[in-house]
Structure 1
Amino acid sequence: MTCGHCVASVTEELSEVPGVTGVEVELSSGTVTVTSSRPLTDDEVAAAVAEAGYAVASGS
């Protein structure tokens, strides 16, 4: 992610996942924090990020 439009795209797609109550994106590090009212699967998060045109990095 390199700009505000990138942040908006990722935020929008993740916000559409059922149960998501908040999304915070740190552009400088590419870190995304998602809060939700239910447990989310890795696949749900990865699919939303992919829909925005990005990929989830592996690792911790």
Structure 2
Amino acid sequence: MYYEYKEKEKKNSFFVSIRDKGENSLLEVERKGENVNLTTYVRNDKTTHITIPADLFERMAKRMSQN
């Protein structure tokens, strides 16, 4: 598998994208203020989108990195 990781600073937000080149899928994570937007794309079609509070995302990421 080959993954491509990119980060961008945008006006009032921070943006990360992770692309799985083999599956042509993409995960986008964008922090806007106190919220984090997660969006997935498979074969260039938007498939899911969720917005969660930043503190919940940080708690989840911390817990996932511990195991």
TM-score calculated relative to the size of structure 1: 0.34
Answer with 1 or 2: which has the greater Rg. Answer: 2
Q: By percentage of residues, which structure has more helix? A: 1
Q: Which has the higher contact order (CA 8 A, sep 6+)?
A: 1
Q: By percentage of residues, which structure has more strand? A: 2
TM-score calculated relative to the size of structure 2: 0.31
